[in-house]
Amino acid sequence: MLKDRNYWSAFYAKNQEPFEHSLFATFCLKYFKKDFSILELGCGNGRDALFFSKKGCKVKALDLCEDEIRFLNDNYKNENLEFFCVDFCNFLDDKKYDGIYSRFTLHSISKDQQDNLFKNISRLLKEKGLLCIEARGKKNSLFGKGERVIDNNEGEYCFIFEEHFRRFLDFDELKYYVKNLGLEILYAKEDKGFAPFKNEDDYFIRLIAQNN
């Protein structure tokens, strides 16, 4: 995973400034209330964290890109928004959150890391708290491209393509996993139209679940 961390460090060194927030952030805002406390897993250049904070949410945003986190705190930290350089897979907090937000991060970690993360998520979500996920699944056009890695009999679909690690989630398996955590799925779909980029419009998974 170190090579992938270096990949993202180099990427954000060239793209430090937050640009327009994602469509997924707009979608999730319909479920959020003002003053929602949000934990973002893998904030990148902070664009969605900044968007939520401007909408009145209180955001703690996590990422492993140390230089980017330093830049974001120096330039965008405020009473509703703070950035932390930490491995979100192992993050624990005494505080519980109204929402845990993960966009394009689950497909960047192994299944073992996801297992650990989800155990922590159950402890970090308030009652009625929301888990919000957008990630690449097996319908995505990049599935199967590059060198397959972590081929371990657990049904993982991991590939390194153009020096970048991706694990492609199984949609039905993800839903089953989330339900087993005791969460109620409010929305789940694998479709196009979620994350168009330039002239591309590929398949992605979206899932919103509530801690009941």
DSSP 111-179: HHHHHHHHHHHHHHEEEEEEEEEEE-BTTSTTTT-SEEE---SS---EEEETTEEEEPBPHHHHHHHHH
pLDDT at 48: 97
> Partners of 189 in the beta sheet?
206
Domain ranges of the chain: 2-211
Phi first, then psi, for residue 167 (nearest 5°) are -115, 125
pLDDT at 12: 47
Say whether 111 sits in a helix, a strand or coil.
helix
pLDDT at 108: 84
**In angstroms, rounded to a whole number, what is the distance separating the alpha carbons of residues 180 and 149?**
27
pLDDT at 167: 86
pLDDT at 18: 58
Report the CATH fold assignment for 2-211.
Answer: Rossmann fold (3.40.50)
pLDDT at 7: 47
Extract the tokens encoding 201: 């419009």
Q: How many CA atoms lie within 13 A of 114 on its CB side?
A: 20
User: Is the pTM here over 0.75, yes or no?
Assistant: yes
**In angstroms, rounded to a whole number, what is the distance separating the alpha carbons of residues 47 and 38?**
14
Backbone Cα Rg of the chain: 16
The series of mean pLDDT values per 10 residues for the chain, 212 residues long, is 48 59 97 95 95 97 94 95 96 95 91 90 95 94 79 64 78 95 97 94 98 94
pLDDT at 126: 97
pLDDT at 110: 85
> Partners of 159 in the beta sheet?
148, 166
**186 contacts: CB under 8 Å, gap ≥ 6:** 31, 130, 208, 209, 210
Extract the tokens encoding 130: 């929301």
pLDDT at 168: 87
